[in-house]
Chain A
Amino acid sequence: MKAFKDSGHLFRLLAVGAAGILLFLVMRTFLVPKSFGEFGHYRGDAISDLAARPVSFAGHETCEGCHSDVLDKKKDGKHAHVNCEACHGPQAKHADDPATVQPPKLDTAVLCVRCHEANAAKPKNFPQVASADHSSGMPCDTCHQPHSPVIDSSAAGGTK
C-alpha cells in the first residue's frame, strides 16, 4: 500500500465531496417541482395553472343557447357575424347566473360610433358616418335597430 501512504486527507476530501453531492441530490428532489421537465425545461404544471383561469367572455354559442330570438333577428342582417359580446361586453357571469347578474343597458350613442365613426384609416368598404352630421344628435336606435341595422322602410316613414 505504498501508493496510498499519507493519502488519508485525500479520502477525507473525497468523503466531503460525496456528502456534498448527496446533499445536493437530496435537496434537489425536494426543491425541484415534480412536473419540472415533463415537457421541457420548465414546470409542466404551469400549463394547467394557466388553463385553470376562469373566462369572462362566455362566447356567442353560450349566448345563443338562450337568446335564440335575437339570433333570428340578427341572422339576415348586416350584423349577423358580429358576436354578442362585441357590443354587450363580457357576460360569463350573466351566463352562469342569468337571474341575478343582468348585463348593463347599452348606450347606442357611444357604442355605434366605436365602429361606424368615419376615419380615414378604416377600410373604404366599411359603412362609416360622421355622427355629428348624420343624426344631429339623435340616438342611433331611433332609426336603426342594432341587431339588424338596415332601416325598415315602414318604420322610418317610407324613406330608405
Chain B
Amino acid sequence: MTISRRHMLLLLPAAAVAWKHVLAGTPESSPNYTMSQHWWGMLIDLTKCIGCGNCVRACQSENDVPDGYFRTWVERYHVTDYDIENPHVDSPDGGKKGFPPAKDESGKNFFVPKLCNHCVESPCTQVCPVGATFVSPDGVVLVDKKYCLGCRYCVQACPYGCRFINPKTETAEKCTLCYHRITKGLTTACCESCPTGARQLADLKNPSDPIHEFLKTHSVQVLKPYMATHAKVFYNGLDGSVR
C-alpha cells in the first residue's frame, strides 16, 4: 500500500491523537482513592512476632527488591540479664529464611521487624537536593525514580538505615508502604503475609481503624524517639535495648 500526500495529511492528526493517548496512558489505578482522607502508619506487635521471615519474602516478591537488599527485615535481639546497653543482634539474610536456633537461650531473646518509619519530619526528604523524595499528602515517604540522582544523601540521613541504592537503577529505594496496594484498598504485602498479625497497616485518619483502640489501651513506642522524626511505625512491647 502506498500512502499519497493527501492520505499522509489525513493520517497526521490521527497519529497525534494516538500519541496523546500513549502519553496519557498511565493506568488508572485507584479512582476512588482520595489522598487527603488518609494518613498511613503501621503497628508492629512484638509480642506476636515469630521471626518466620514471611514479611521479608513477601516484600521482596511484591516489590522486586534485589537479593541482599531489604525494604523490610527482621532482627533478633539477645539481651543478657540487665545489660540492655549491649544487646547482641543478628539478622541472617534479613531474616528472609527464618532464624537458626539461638546460640544462647539464657537471658532474653526476641524478634524486631523493621521497615521505613514513614516519619512526618523525615530526615531523608529534608536532605534531597532535587526533590526526588518526599512525604506524600497521605503520609507516605516515597522516592521518584525519575528524579533521583543516586547521590546517597538520603541513605546517610535515615537514622533507621531503611534506604539503599538499587544496584540496577542506581537510585535510592525504600519501603513505599506498598503504595500501589494501599491506594487500591489492599493492605501491604508484609501485613497480608504475616501469619500472626504482628504487623498491621494503620490509617491514622480513619476513626474506625482498630489502631486507635490499640493505641488507647497499650504502651506503644516508636524507634529512636529522641530523633524527633515523628515516626509512624508504632511498636508494642518494644524493649529498651532495641536500637
Contact = CB atoms under 8 A, between A and B. Distances in A.
B30 to A, nearest CB: 6
B155 interface: no
Interface residues of A, number: 39
A122 B51 CA distance: 7
A160 interface: no
Interface string A88-128: 01100000000000000000000000110111111100100
Given A46-B147, A119-B102, A120-B101, A39 B137 contact: yes
Given A46-B147, A55-B62, A126-B196, 12 more contacts: A42-B132, A45-B26, A47-B35, A50-B142, A56-B189, A83-B195, A86-B195, A89-B61, A90-B58, A90-B62, A115-B196, A121-B78
Interface residues of B, number: 55
Q: For chain B, what secondary structure do more than half of its interface residues adopt (helix, strand, loop), or is it mixed?
A: loop
Contacts of B77: 121
B109 interface: yes
Contacts of A53: 179-180
Interface of A: 36, 39-43, 45-57, 59-60, 81-83, 85-87, 89-90, 114-115, 117-123, 126
Interface string B34-64: 0100000000000111111110001001100
Contacts of A47: 35, 136, 142, 179
Interface string B190-224: 00111111000000000000000000000000000
B71 to A, nearest CB: 13
Contacts of B132: 42
Given A42-B144, A52-B29, A121-B51, A85 B192 contact: yes
Interface string B115-145: 0000000000000000111111100001011
Q: For chain A, what secondary structure do more than half of its interface residues adopt (helix, strand, loop), or is it mixed?
A: loop
A93 B30 CA distance: 19
A50 B51 contact: no
A116 to B, nearest CB: 9
A141 B143 CA distance: 44
B99 interface: yes
14 contacts: A36-B131, A42-B134, A46-B146, A47-B142, A51-B180, A55-B186, A57-B58, A57-B62, A57-B189, A83-B195, A86-B192, A86-B194, A114-B53, A115-B50
B146 A50 contact: no
Interface string B72-113: 000011100000000000000000001101100100011100
A47 B137 CA distance: 10
B26 A123 contact: no
Contacts of B147: 42-43, 46
